[in-house]
Structure 1
Amino acid sequence: MRPLKGKVRIGTSNGYMPGNKLTFPAEYQLRSRLHYYSTFFDTIEVNSCFYKTPLRSTYEKWLTDVPEDFQFTLKLSKGVTHAKELKFDLDCMETFLQAATGTGNKKGCLLIQFPGKITLEHFNQVEHILTQLRLLDPANEWRKAVEFRSDTWYIGETSELLNEFGASLVLHDFSKAKISAVMPKANFVYMRFHGPTGNYRDSYSGVVLDEKAGDIHEMLASGKDVYVYFNNTVGSAFENARYLQAKLLSG
């Protein structure tokens, strides 16, 4: 078996877990849901900030609920990625990133997810967004992961664009998009599981997850870090994430 040079982080979208606090072990029932979540996973993909930017103090509170090695991945505001024709207000991006400094030394990725109507024709606008993010994050504290929902993007020019900004292409299984083998050179990989049929429902089979574990193992062996988030929250996100964790730990 090839030695692993990269690190894998696995979690669920919005920290999904089944049950309520009354179903948690007694010692966790008086703590936050995030605190209990962090006993299973070392990262979370926060989607709620896509709809409304939290206060910096909210992020700072979250820091007290998780262990030192935990990382927060944040989905960039819809005011940027879903603005009409991507003509966004720069203040929206600045406010989002300023609040996000509250995550301290636990910064993971910025998920930059565009809707299906954003096609290759919007190349210049996407480039502008990445340029502004670089200006607002000059130390590159956030890893940038771009998710397209239109298959027009899966060409070599897109890889060149992402390479210019050190960004990664999100590998996902949303039913309306097809992921190409063309991949940028970023030092990390971002995988997002939306459900077997791409509708946030149902559960992945062990066969599928075993195959994904093999793919991840190869990525880690090549030196890339890997972030994996299960977004099939109407299905079995928690169970699937735990299965993949166990599979990777077992080799």
Structure 2
Amino acid sequence: MIYVGVTGWGDQNSLYTSGISPRDKLKEYGAHFPVVEVDASFYAIQPKQNVEKWVKDTPEGFQFVVKAYQGMTGHQRGEIPFESKEEMFLAFKESIIPYQDAGKLSMVLFQFPPWFECKKENVDYLRWCKIKMGDTKVALEFRNQTWFQPEYYGRTLDFMEKEGWIHSICDEPQAGTGSIPTVLHATTNENTLVRLHGRNVHGWTKSVPGKDWREVRYLYDYNHSELLEWKANLETLTLQSKDIIVLFNNNSGGHAAGNAKQLIELLNIEYTGLAPKQLDLF
């Protein structure tokens, strides 16, 4: 089965009735899509009450892809606010228990930064992360092209298969070492993650004065032919993996939700068990 959603629910204004409180957006989001990525967990390990509310606000079969905290993936600059990596991983694992108890945790996404290159110490760290996460399903996304260079391509995929990492397959601009190609290869036969970041090559590599880099990098609207291309890609992946989660991350211009709905229509999918849609009567 293919499950389509977006990364984060806060910025998807096209989905919501006017004047909606930010606290109620996830409730309405659940009327449109069966899955969402939690990106707040990347910036801070979330308090239990936040996660419990998100679980409560979503339908029974709803699924969360939870992004690993930035200290776990080496994004954070400076000291991490924990005495040790073990303490940090333990705090994160405790934070995801409400998702697990409700049967709503699809997987945890470890997205590594562009400077996390293919070398022995990083391979060792990936092994360590997998051990620390125990039985939790974990997805792995690279941002450094060395992992898929010809001499490492097959070994990277073999490593992910042997270690039990779910492959996070990307669609993103091909902009040098800090980007990876689309590799249509599932590393488990149960789950695969696809994240569509857009194809804004200029925004991927350049900053614009006065604008947050995210506003520029993820400014992209997939056209019909590009979505058809991904329809074919997903049909290929369904032969390799039972369940595929597709997340649109092109949020900067508000295109993610619209592109997600277009793809659902192209795939001729009708989801059941979504939340009831709110009626804007005035």
Q: Same fold (TM over 0.5)?
A: yes
Kept in 2: contact 1:14–1:44 (CA 8 A): yes
Q: 2:146 aligns with which of 152, 165, 180?
A: 152
Structure 1 position 131 matched with structure 2 position 121:
no
1:9 matched to 2:27: no
SS at match of 2:267: helix
Contact kept in structure 2, 1:21 and 1:29, CA below 8 Å: no
Helix, strand or coil at the partner of 1:215 = helix
The 1:39–1:250 alpha-carbon spacing in structure 2 relative to 1, beyond 3 Å, is: closer
Shift in Å, 1:242: 0.6
The 1:136–1:113 alpha-carbon spacing in structure 2 relative to 1, beyond 3 Å, is closer
Note if 1:231 corresponds to 2:249: yes
SS in 1 for 2:114: coil
Q: Deviations over 1:201-232 (max 9, x none)?
A: 12000111012112212322444311111111
| Alignment equivalent of 2:227, drawn from 197, 209, 216 | 209
1 CA distance for matches of 2:232 and 2:15? 33
- 2:259 maps to 240
Alpha-carbon distance, 1:64 to partner: 1.1
Q: Deviations over 1:17-55 (max 9, x none)?
A: 12596527xxx7797100100100111111111010111
Moved beyond 4 Å, runs of 4+: 19-22, 28-31
Q: Determine helix, strand or coil for the equivalent of 1:162.
A: helix
> Is structure 2 residue 53 aligned with structure 1 residue 55?
no
**Take 2:22 and 2:38, find their aligned partners in 1: how far apart are those partners?**
22
- Is 1:186 matched up with 2:204? no
Distance 1:135 1:184 in 2: 23
Tell me the percent identity: 25
8 Å Cα contact 1:159-1:182 kept in structure 2: no
1:93 paired with 2:85, answer: no
CA RMSD of aligned residues (A): 2.7
- Of 64, 70, 73, the match for 1:78: 70
Does the C-alpha gap of structure 1 residues 17 and 223 become closer, same or farther in structure 2, counting only changes over 3 Å?
A: same
Match of 1:165 in 2: 163
- Distance, in Å, in 2 between the alignment partners of 1:241 and 1:20 is 12
Looking at structure 1, the residues matched to 235 and 182 of structure 2 have their Cα atoms a distance apart, in angstroms, of: 20
Match of residue 200, structure 1, among 195, 199, 218:
218
- Which secondary structure state, in structure 2, belongs to the residue aligned with residue 119 of structure 1? coil
Would you say how many aligned residue pairs link Structure 1 and Structure 2?
Answer: 237
Amino acid aligned to 1:186: T
* Contact 2:184 2:233 (8 Å CA) reproduced: no
**Residues 110 and 144 in structure 1, CA contact (< 8 A), matched pair in contact too:** yes
Do the aligned residues in 2 keep the contact of 1:219 with 1:225 (CA within 8 Å)?
no
CA contact (8 A) 1:134 1:165 kept: no
Task: Write the deviation string for residues 127-166 of structure 1: whole angstroms up to 9, x where unpaired.
Answer: 43443433442xx3x3221111111001111112111222
Cα displacement (A) at 1:174? 3.0
